[in-house]
Chain A
Amino acid sequence: MNLTLYVWRQKGPKDAGRLVRYEAKDVSPDMSFLEMLDLVNEGLVRKGDDPIAFDHDCREGICGMCAQVINGIPQGPQKKTTVCQLHMRHFKNGDTIYIEPLRARAFPVIRDLVVDRGSLDKIIQSGGYISAHTGGVPDGNAILIPKDDADRAMDAAECIGCGACVAACPNGSAMLFTAAKVTQLATLPQGRTEAARRVCVMTEEMLGQGFGNCGNHYECQAVCPKDIKVQFIAKLNREFIKARLK
């Protein structure tokens, strides 16, 4: 199949950037989206042009590095799927595809489709942990956790921190990301102790890193490759109210 691509090219953080048109020829429907970009890049390198810079790592849908915005949808048009797991069979011959970097003030563009998502790490560093003294391995069932709680915590822990939620949010908010971590830890007894402090400092850090406020548009949930639900944001809000009433 042959495709027309409009790819965001930006030499560096200070460059204004622009969309550049490329023709992707002889793309196999079995290729992943990243393999299609690899093919385009091989052609660019052969011509002596700079290849398109994009992030990727595991290419098996579990690390989140490959997040980019395809036709206006962070992580691409296939629901609950990362870009690396999106295959070209979901496109048609002759399609035009717009590829842009994740956009938010807290995600400055480094080059082309590569953005700095370190601001998400800063949110985790502010309180997304438990300060337990780890000794030897505890007995398996020393702390009993109801199955529902364990399941909820695991659902929240599925977040891979790819930043698609931030990129999709009209307000550039990292609320879904923050809420996933807050929920994961607040649902488990080990994380409960520091829940009040955690929810306050993490939401504070979110604003401090230049993310916006949640506007309840739910775009984040719609694009999340790991199906993190906005109910976790409601849980974060409840945790915040509880913390303030303490």
Chain B
Amino acid sequence: MLLPTSSVGRKLVMAATGQLIILFVILHVLGNATIYFGLLNAYAAHLHALPPLIWSFRIGLIILFSFHIYYGIVLTLENNRAKPQSYVMRNDLSATVAGRNMVWTGAVIGSFIIYHLLHFTVQITNPGLAAARHLDSLGRPDVFTMVVKSFQNFGIASVYLLSMIALWLHLSHGIQSSFQTWGLNSEQSFPIVKRLSALAAIVLFVAYVAVPVVIATGILK
């Protein structure tokens, strides 16, 4: 029961972990919004003032990601084995690029998260910008300046933008798919769930790329 081996059981783990990770994705983007109000340093300082909170989040996320990645790979390998030969003439009627490439968009997101952590959390990719070493006038780590100076670099902003495109694709299939896996799908609700999922994926994409875009274009300095 704890480690399911059945087809549906493992998909339920994918759906459950995916949905919990989406909750974090939403929380994270709300946190990002503090940058527009000059509250980013205060927000970061508040978070780090509560190590039990931040560490329980981190441990929880590591567990969620471990399960999501493990079963994602296992199911994909199994599915590829079940379809060893593809058609000479393939014709998708409803399968999408996003749905067919979940493992690849997932791999991009996974790699991005490692880079993102090294960049903004461990702060070793651009040590010159590390907030831990530059304090603002109130003596707090200057996260705002680190973020702004990072995204003024076109290369870094592009990496974030491309990774968020992968997140968009991943969510555009993942959200509606998770509802179907939980069995939350009737003929009446299905089109609505599909549309709302696509909308949610776009809203999250726009919300996430807004920060690098407004900084790279010089709107936020």
Contact = CB atoms under 8 A, between A and B. Distances in A.
B53 interface: no
A230 B191 CA distance: 12
B180 A234 contact: yes
Given A170-B100, A241-B12, A103 B86 contact: yes
B78 to A, nearest CB: 6
A104 B82 contact: yes
Contacts of A207: 6-7, 78
A211 B94 CA distance: 20
Interface residues of B, number: 43
B110 interface: no
B181 interface: yes
Contacts of B132: none
A223 B93 contact: yes
A211 B176 contact: no
Contacts of A200: 6
Given A73-B93, A218-B95, A237 B183 contact: yes
Interface string A185-218: 0000000000000001001101100111111111
B95 A170 contact: yes
A213 B187 contact: no
Contact of A237 (B8, B91, B95): B8
Interface of A is mostly: mixed
Interface residues of A, number: 50
A72 interface: yes
A170 B81 CA distance: 11
A182 B88 CA distance: 33
A168 B94 CA distance: 10
Contacts of A235: 183
Interface in B191-205: none
A203 to B, nearest CB: 5
A130 B97 CA distance: 41
Nearest to A241: B183
17 contacts: A72-B90, A98-B87, A98-B88, A98-B89, A103-B83, A103-B85, A106-B82, A170-B95, A171-B83, A175-B7, A212-B80, A212-B83, A219-B92, A223-B93, A231-B185, A231-B187, A241-B183
Given A72-B87, A233-B180, A240-B12, 9 more contacts: A73-B91, A100-B89, A170-B79, A171-B82, A173-B79, A207-B7, A214-B11, A216-B176, A223-B93
Interface of A: 6, 8, 19, 69, 71-73, 98, 100, 103-106, 168-173, 175, 200, 203-204, 206-207, 210-219, 221-223, 229-231, 233-238, 240-241, 244
